[in-house]
Amino acid sequence: MSQEKFAFHLDKNFTIGTIFLIFFILFVSTTMVFAQNGTPPTDNEVNAIAKDLYCPVCENTPLDVCPTVACAQWRDMIREKLTAGWSKEQISQYFVDQYGDRVLAEPPKRGFNWLVYVLPPIFFLGGCILVYKNLRKFKNQKPGVDSGNMDKNDPYMQEVEEALQLMNRKDQGN
């Protein structure tokens, strides 16, 4: 009896378990079948993700245009992930987890990386202040004033200028 009970329990558990298992398999396979039967990702869809990811091996080459065999395999990987229903963000994160931040087009905005975003504007701002200080010094003068400096510091030309001035004074004196 106890054995029958046990058998019943076993059967019952087995049945419930089997039903759950069947449902699970059905659910998973339906999802997979859906994913596999849905329109497979086009090359353009793959490239749309690949263009924002950089080849982990080559320098500064986006994955969508990288001609190496390794990059072709990584594009295939993107295709597989898309087929499996992954989103763009999930795929990007997968590549970051696998190969580090260098696969991203720009350093993520955190910690030390902030320097790349902050320093050029600070430098430019400093330049703006310097230019502003220089421009503030301007004096209002009449149009057409052009002091020029042609050979002002050339001793020979200074000599010439002084001689000419002397001549002018002499002319005026006469």
Partner 1 sequence: MLTNLGFGSLVITFALSLYGIFAAIYGERKNLYRFVESARWAMLLTFPMITLVTLCIIGLLVTQHYEVQYVYNVTSQSMPLYLKITALWGGQSGSLVFWAWLMSAFASAVTLRKWNRDRDFLPWVIVVCLVTLAFFLSMIILFENPFQRFWSTSGGQQIVAMFQPAGSQLIIPADGRGLNPLLRHPGMVIHPPMLYLGFVSFVIPFAFGIAALITGRKDDRWIRLTRRWTLVAWMFLSIGLVLGSRWAYDVLGWGGYWAWDPVENAAFMPWLTGTAFLHSVMIQEKRGLFKRWNMILVILTYSLVIFGTFLTRSGVLSSVHAFAQSAIGPMFFAFIGITFLVSLALLIKRWNDLNSEGQMNSLLSRESLFLVNNLLFMGVLAVVFWGTVFPLISELFTGQKVTVSAPFYERSTGPLFAGLLLLMGIAPLSAWGHSTWKTLGKAMWKPGLLSLLVLIAMVISGIRSFGALLGLWLTSFVIFVTLYEFWRGMIARHRRSGENYFTALIRLAARNRRRYGGYVIHLSIVLMAIGIIGIESFQTQTQAKLIPGESLQLAGYTVTYESLAEFDVQDGRNVARAVLNVSKNGKNLGELYPRRDYFYDSQQPMTIPGVRSTIEDDLYVILVNWEEISTNGATFKVFHNPLVNWLWFGGILLIFGSFIAAWPDPEKGLQLESITKSRQSAVSSSISAD
Name the site residues for partner 1 (rule: CB under 8 A): 42-44, 47, 54, 59-62, 65, 67, 72, 100-107, 111-113, 115-116, 119-120, 123-124, 127-128, 131, 134-135, 137-149, 151-154, 159-160, 163-164, 166-167, 170
CB of residue 92 to partner 1, shortest distance in Å: 13
Cα separation, 23 vs 25, whole angstroms = 6
Nearer to partner 1, 17 or 126 (CB): 126
Which phi-psi region, left, alpha or beta, contains residue 71 (left: φ > 0; alpha: ψ -120 to 50)?
A: alpha
Helix axis angle for 69-83 and 43-50, nearest 10°, is 110
CB of residue 124 to partner 1, shortest distance in Å: 4
Nearer to partner 1, 27 or 124 (CB): 124
Nearer to partner 1, 8 or 124 (CB): 124
Nearer to partner 1, 5 or 170 (CB): 170
CB of residue 63 to partner 1, shortest distance in Å: 11
CB of residue 72 to partner 1, shortest distance in Å: 7
CB burial of 50-67 (b: ≥16 within 10 Å; e: otherwise) equals: bebbbbeeeeeebbbebe
CB of residue 84 to partner 1, shortest distance in Å: 21
Cα angle: 50, vertex 82, 89; to 5 degrees? 65
Cα separation, 88 vs 104, whole angstroms = 13
